[in-house]
Amino acid sequence: MNFSDSELIETLLSEQGLGRAAGESEADLILINTCSVRAHAEQRVMGRLRALKKLKDRRPEILLGVCGCMAQRMGEDLLRELPWVDLVVGPDSYRRLPGLVSRAGRDNPVQAAELVLDRAETYHGILPRRRDEVSAWVPITRGCDNFCSYCIVPYVRGRERSLEPEAVERQVALAVEGGAREVVLLGQNVNSYRSGPTGFAGLLRRLESVPGLARVRFLTSHPRDLSDEIVEAMAGCGKVCEHLHLPVQSGSDRVLEAMNRGYTRDYYLDRVRLLRSRVPGLSLTTDILVGFPGETAEDFGRTVSLMKQVCFDYAYTFRYSPRPGTAAAGLEDSVPEQEKKRRLQQVIDLQLAHTRAALDSMVGAEVEAMVVKPARSGQGKYLARTRGHFSVILPAESSQVGRVVRTVVTAHTGMSLVAGAGCDT
Ligand code: SAH
Ligand code: SF4
């Protein structure tokens, strides 16, 4: 979502005639787009902003701004704490950025903050420039209403709102006109997308008829809102890829309840069963959060056993960090850091083994892969992606970028598949 917001910011500023600088030292304006989800992400931003003071001392005319969730959370405190920062702009105020930049430049510079969360702002009508040739991000919802007890997102990104289906369709069609072959629909919880009579399943069905579009993906799904209708739409829509990111967070009902996730372990497992029976070959990824306040060794054991039961293809794993203002911040952060680290390492190791097993099982199989870009290893090798979102390294040519090819997997590296030259589908 933040990468997508950075594209949006770049587009808004380019309409003012601003362009991308080659590097920090040549820039007249430096904007840092930030995340507040974990304390560590914020600490890194503070470090970066402190380091930028030297550049500001040398070239005081540079404008330095902070965008995104941390800007929203800290607001004017950020300007007080780091007086060399000029602009602080929250996620619903990016339309104001061009005006702020030209005003700050003119008044040489004065500190300013734009922090109003706007439940109507969907950035309708702005078609972000893309940096990726083949795949385009299309935010379909902004904000979140779920208030999971550990999570700061609803406080810093405001209430959930959906972009009208016509506007989504237009964005997708324009992305395809601009060369994209795949779209990734974005939102904190895309499953609760709703605009008038159109829910998320209806939106997926609508996108089936966009000419020239080969693949549709989406991020993130909330298990509670993954209805039978959505599963049926995934099963029935040829363009929708067989990949679902379905964060479970924990395998313990007690912890899930304390997290305010709105589902139980059994319900989650039931969704997985339905998905696997209706969407054969589905690749399933998740988020795991360890060390939530009060998580006992037994609760953690339930998470491990759920991971073993489901065998996710990939998992993003996190160590709980209390976030100010959230419900969980009022609970005692009871799991010692050392123990959180130990639990985290255990789930990382388990997931590595599961990912390896998934890759092993694909060796020898024929896959459909979309050629994305030259691989870092070079030498005529390209990065492609399977419908299940596995990376594939294969020999290809630049003219094949954006094409879907059929190829046979010959090996893997532990993270990516390796395949022979593909033939067009
Ligand atoms: N809307 C998405 C993503 C939210 S943030 C969702 O519901 O899945 C991405 C992940 O960060 C979450 O899934 C969670 O695992 C993790 N996360 C959120 N708050 C956190 C916190 N306070 N400490 C550690 N990890 C956190
Ligand atoms: Fe945070 Fe929960 Fe919303 Fe995801 S669904 S953004 S974890 S509150």
| Residue located nearest, by CA, to atom 4 of ligand 2 | 188
Q: Is residue 290 within 8 Å of 347, Cβ to Cβ? A: yes
Q: Is the pLDDT of residue 378 over 90?
A: no
Greater confidence (23 vs 312) lies with: 312
| pLDDT band with cut points at 50, 70 and 90 for residue 125 | confident
- Look at residue 105 in the predicted model and tell me its pLDDT: 72
Q: Which of 19-23, 151-155, 399-403 has the highest mean pLDDT?
A: 151-155
State whether the beta carbon of 151 lies less than 6 angstroms from ligand 2.
Answer: yes
- Look at residue 131 in the predicted model and tell me its pLDDT: 64
User: Sign (positive/negative) of CA torsion 353, 358, 364, 369?
Assistant: negative
Residue range 392-401: mean pLDDT, rounded: 94
Give 345-353 contacts, CB < 8 A, sequence gap 24+.
346/304, 347/288, 347/290, 347/303, 347/304, 347/307, 347/315, 347/317, 348/317, 350/304, 350/307, 350/308, 351/288, 351/307, 351/312, 351/314, 351/315, 351/317, 352/414
Share of the chain above pLDDT 90, in %: 91
Q: Is the pLDDT of residue 318 over 90?
A: yes
State whether the beta carbon of 321 lies less than 6 angstroms from ligand 1.
Answer: yes
* Residue closest to 193 by CA, chosen among 140, 259, 150: 140
Distance CA 329, CA 38 (A): 12
Model confidence over 273-305: pLDDT tens digits?
A: 999 999 999 999 999 999 999 999 999 999 999
Atom number, ligand 2, closest to the C-alpha of residue 145 = 3
Q: Is the pLDDT of residue 132 over 70?
A: no
Model confidence over 166-194: pLDDT tens digits?
A: 999 999 999 999 999 999 999 999 999 99
Q: Is the pLDDT of residue 425 over 90?
A: no
Residue range 33-52: mean pLDDT, rounded: 96
Residue 64 CB coordination number (10 Å): 21
Which domains does the chain show, CATH number per domain? 2-114 (3.40.50.12160), 135-361 (3.80.30.20), 363-424 (2.40.50.140)
State whether the beta carbon of 191 lies less than 6 angstroms from ligand 1.
Answer: no
Give me 115's structure tokens.
């922090």
Q: Is the pLDDT of residue 164 over 70?
A: yes
**How many Å lie between the centroid of ligand 1 and the Cα of residue 37?**
6
Model confidence over 83-101: pLDDT tens digits?
A: 999 999 999 999 999 999 9
Q: Is the pLDDT of residue 229 over 80?
A: yes
Give me 287's structure tokens.
């988020």
Atom number, ligand 1, closest to the C-alpha of residue 220 = 2
**How many Å lie between the centroid of ligand 2 and the Cα of residue 327?**
13
Q: Which ligand is nearest to the CA of 36?
A: 1
Q: Where are the alpha helices (DSSP H) in 59-131?
A: 69-74, 76-81, 97-107
Which range (45-54, 109-118, 234-243, 329-338) has the least confidence? 109-118
- Look at residue 379 in the predicted model and tell me its pLDDT: 85
Give me 262's structure tokens.
């709105």
State whether the beta carbon of 189 lies less than 6 angstroms from ligand 2.
Answer: yes
- Look at residue 109 in the predicted model and tell me its pLDDT: 67
- Look at residue 104 in the predicted model and tell me its pLDDT: 80
- Look at residue 130 in the predicted model and tell me its pLDDT: 73
| Residue located nearest, by CA, to atom 2 of ligand 1 | 188
State whether the beta carbon of 249 lies less than 6 angstroms from ligand 2.
Answer: no
- Ligand 2: which of 69, 72, 146, 221 to mutate, most ligand atoms within 8 Å of CB? 146
Residue range 15-23: mean pLDDT, rounded: 91
Whole-angstrom CA distances from 235 to 135, 241, 317, 386 are: 22, 9, 28, 17
- Look at residue 49 in the predicted model and tell me its pLDDT: 97
Model confidence over 250-275: pLDDT tens digits?
A: 999 999 999 999 999 999 999 999 99
- Look at residue 133 in the predicted model and tell me its pLDDT: 76
State whether the beta carbon of 202 lies less than 6 angstroms from ligand 1.
Answer: no
State whether the beta carbon of 260 lies less than 6 angstroms from ligand 1.
Answer: no
* Residue closest to 187 by CA, chosen among 249, 140, 234, 127: 140
Close Cβ partners of 24 (under 8 Å, ≥ 6 residues apart) = 30, 52, 55
